Structure 1
Amino acid sequence: MNAIFRRLRIDTYILAIMGMVAIAAILPARGAGKDVLDIIVHAAIALLFFLYGARISRQAIWAGILHWRLQSLVFATTFVLFPLLGFGIAKLAAGHLDPGLVTGLMFVSLLPSTVQSSIAFTSIARGNVPAALCCASLSNLAGVVITPLLATMVLSAGGGGMSLDAVGEIALQILLPFVIGQFARPLIGEWLERRRMLTMAVDRGSILLVVYSAFSAGVVAGIWGRVTPQSLALVIVLDLVLLAIVLAATTAASRLLRFTTEDEVAIVFCGSKKSMASGLPMANIIFPASAVGLIVLPLMLFHQMQLMVCAALARRYAQRAKDPAPAMTATAAGAPVRAHRR
C-alpha cells in the first residue's frame, strides 16, 4: 500500500492527518473526554519541544551563524518577507473569507521553516546540506520565540490579542521544555540520535493528537458550516500564490547575491518552507480551542503544497546537477569564452 501511495506521490502522513479530521468529524471529544484529551495534548506538546531542544546541537547553531550571509537571507525570508506577504494576502482576503481562515493565512506566514523536509529536499537536489541543517535548526530555534511574538503583534487571538495567560502557556509548553531539552542534550542527545523512530513517533503522534483536538473543538463549536467549497478553493489559490512568490524571490535573491548553486538550493528550500510540526502545537496554545480547527486549515493545505512543489523542484535541481556544464560557450561573434559557473 505504501508503494502505491509513493507512486501516486501521496504522503501517507497527510492521509493519517485527514483520517484524524474524519474521526473528529464523526466522534468529536466532548465533556470529560475532552478534558482528558486536553491534558494529553498539553503533555505531548511539552514533550515535542523538549525533544526539539535535545536534538538541536549547539555546534550546528554556531556553524550556522558563521555562514552569516546565507543564514541572514533565509532568516529575512522566513520572518520578514513571509509575514509581509501574509499580511498583504490576509488584507486582500478579508471580506471574501471567514475571519478564521484569514487569520490562518497570516499565521502560516509567521512560522519557522521545517527541518526534515528542508534537509531532505536539499540533499535530493545536491545542495549544501550542512547549511540547510543549520538554517532549519536556527529557524526552529528562533521560531520558538519569534513566532509567538509576531502573533502577539499582528494577530487577534479571540478578538483582543494574546492574553497574559496565553503568553504564560507558551512559556510553559514551548520555551521551558525547549530550554530543558538543551540542557539535557549532553545526557540524552546521542541516545535520541540512535532512536530516530522513537523521536519520529513522538513528532508525528503529537501532531495527530493536536489535529484531532483542534478539529473536535471546531466540530463542537459548529465552525465547519462556515467553510464553503468556494472559500476552500480560494485558500488553496492564496497558499499557492504565497509559495510561488517566495520560491521566485529566494531564487532571484540567491542569484543576485552570487551564491553558489549548492547554497541557492539550501536557501530556496529552507526559505520557502513552513513547519506544520511547530505550527499546530503553537496554534493550539495561541488561539481559542473553538477556532483552532479553522485557523490551521490553511497551514495543513500549505504543508501538502510545499511538499509536492518542492519535490518536483528538487528533481529539477538534481537533474541540472547531473548534466555537465559546458566548459566553453560561444559569443555572438563566434569567439569562445568561459561559461559562468554558478
Structure 2
Amino acid sequence: MLSRIDPMVRLLVVAIVLAIVLPVHGSARDAAQFVSNAAVFLLFFLNGVRLPRHEVMAGLSNHRLLWPLVAWCFGAMALAGWGLSLAGQGWMPPLLALGFVYLGCLPSTVQSATAYTSLAGGNVASAVVAAALLNLIGVFVTAPLFSLLAGGSGSGFHSDALIKVVAILLVPFLLGQVAQGWLLEWVKGHRSLVTTMDRSSIAIAVYVAFSGAVAQQFWTRIDLAGWLWLAGGTVLFLVFGHGGAWLLGGVLRLDRPNRITMLFAGAQKSIAMGAPLAAVLFRPDVAGVILLPILLYHLVQLVIAAPIVKRLTLG
C-alpha cells in the first residue's frame, strides 16, 4: 500500500515529521539554511541542464494553448489565491492568508502534470514544454507577483529577496543551459540519481522551513477556524483550478488532447518551485506557515488526479 503513494509525497511527509521531532535551532539554523540554498542551487542547475533549448522553441509555437495557460496560471489562479486570502481575513492568521496568495502565484508542476496528461491521452509534448516554460517564467514572475498582491503584508519579503532569487534560482538555471552540451548525456544516463537529488533538494527546503515554524510554535498561531479555512480554501482552490482550466479549454475550442494538457498544467501547482522559493524569500520562522496551503494543495492534487484521469479515459 505504501509503495502506491507518490515518492515525493512520502518524502515531504518525512521532512515535515522530522522538522517537528528534530527541528534545527540556534546557530545550526544558519548552517541548515546554507545547505538548503546550496541544494536549491543544484536543483535549478540540473533543471537547466535537462531542458533542451530546441524543445522550448518548438513548444512556443503552440500559441493557442501556451499563452492562455500562462494567463490562467499567473493571472486567474493568482487572483483566486488573493481572493481567498481576503475572504479569510479575520478568520485565519495573516501568514496563512499569505500562503494562499503564494499558492496562487506559483507555476505548474512538471513531472506529475506531464505524467497525468499522458495517462489521460493529452498532448504530452505540449505538456512538457508548457510546464517547463511556466516554471521558467515563475522564476521571474512569482516573487514580484506575490509582492504586488501581498502588498505591505508580505512578511519577511524585501526587495533584496529578488536578488537572492536571481542568484540561487536563475543563475544556476542559466549555467545549466550553458553546461548542457557537456552534462546532458550524463544526466540522461543517471536519471535515478538526478531524480533523488531533485527530491532531496525539495525535502531539505521543506525541512528547514518547517523547522523555523516549529521553533516559533506555529500551531499556537492557528486556531480551529484557521485550520478549517486552510482545508476549505484548499478544496475551493482545487475546484476553481481544475474546473476553470477545463472550461477555459472548452471556451478556446482546443481539441481534446490540448484541453487535457490545459487541465493538468493549468490546475496543478508546484511544490518543487514553492518550497525552494519560500526558503529564499521568507524568514525561516514564517516560511513554514506560508507553505501550508501549497503543501496541502500538492498532496490533494495528486490524490484526485487518478480519478480525473479515469474519468477522462472513459469518456
Is the pair's TM-score, using the shorter chain for normalization, greater than 0.5?
yes
Letter in 1 for 2:195: M
Distance in 2, matches of 1:162 and 1:24, equals 23
Q: Which of 227, 233, 254 pairs up with 2:249? A: 254
CA separation in 1, counterparts of 2:49 and 2:41? 12
Give a deviation string over 1:252-304, Cα, whole Å, max 9, x none.
12122221111111111100011000110101111121100100011100001
1:157 & 1:177 partners in 2: Cα distance?
A: 30
Is 1:295 equivalent to 2:290 in the alignment? yes
1:12 Cα deviation after fit: 4.4
User: Residues 142, 245 of structure 1: CA spacing in aligned structure 2 closer, same or farther, 3 A cutoff?
Assistant: same
Letter aligned with residue 39 of structure 2: A
Task: Give the AA of the match of 1:253.
Answer: L
The structure whose RCO (Cα within 8 Å, separation 6+) is larger is: 2
Q: Is the 8 A contact 2:46 2:176 kept in 1?
A: yes
The alpha-carbon deviation at position 121 of structure 1 amounts to 0.2
1:243 to 231, 238, 254: 238
- Aligned residue for 1:339? none
Query: Given residue 5 of structure 1, which amino acid in structure 2 is its aligned partner?
Result: L
Distance 1:229 1:186 in 2: 53
Match of 1:5 in 2: 2
Task: Tell me the residue number matched to 2:79.
Answer: 84
Unaligned runs of 5+ in 2: none
Q: Choose 1 or 2 for highest CA Rg.
A: 1
Shift of 1:246: 2.0
Equivalent pair of 2:20/2:211 in contact (CA under 8 Å): yes
- Aligned-partner Cα distance in 2 for 1:117–1:18: 18
Aligned to 2:188: 193
Distance 1:158 1:297, change over 3 A: same
Question: Are 2:252 and 1:263 equivalent residues in the alignment?
Answer: no
Q: CA distance change for structure 1 residues 293 and 162 in 2, over 3 Å: closer, same or farther?
A: closer
Shift in alpha-carbon separation, 1:156–1:49, aligned structure 2, 3 A: farther
Q: Which amino acid aligns with 1:171?
A: V
Percent identity at matched positions?
32
List per-residue Cα deviations over 1:106-154 (Å, max 9, x = no partner).
1000001100001100010011111111111111111111111212222
The one-letter amino acid of 2:128's match is L
Measured against aligned partners, the alpha-carbon deviations of 1:152-181 in whole angstroms (never above 9, x if no partner) come to 222258756732331221111111111111
Contact 2:210 2:284 in 1 (8 A): no
Which of the residues 269, 274, 280 maps onto 2:269?
Answer: 274
Amino acid at match of 1:142: I
Q: Counterparts of 1:68 and 1:133 in 2: how far apart (Å)?
A: 15
Q: Which ranges of structure 1 fall in alignment gaps of 5 or more residues?
A: 321-342
Note closer, same or farther for the CA distance 1:159–1:117 as it changes in structure 2 (3 Å cut): closer
Aligned match of 1:323: none
Aligned to 1:314: 309
Farther off after superposition, 247-256 or 74-83: 247-256
Per mean C-alpha deviation after superposition, the further-off stretch among 208-217 and 153-162 is: 153-162
Partner of 2:61: 66
Aligned mates of 1:257, 1:214 — CA distance in 2: 40
Tell me the secondary structure at the aligned position of residue 28 of structure 1: coil
Aligned residue-pair number: 315
Deviates more, 1:114-123 or 1:27-36: 27-36
Shift of 1:18: 2.0
In angstroms, what is the RMSD of aligned CA positions?
1.7
Letter in 2 for 1:258: R
- Do 1:157 and 1:288's aligned partners in 2 also have CA atoms closer than 8 Å? no
Please say which of residues 216-225 and 266-275 is displaced more in the overlay: 216-225
- C-alpha change, 1:47 and 1:157, in structure 2 (3 Å) is farther
Q: 1:34 to 1:162 in 2, by over 3 A?
A: closer
**CA drift at 1:6:** 5.0
1:146 maps to what in 2?
141
Partner of 2:18: 23
Is the 8 Å Cα contact of residues 5 and 12 (structure 1) preserved in structure 2? no
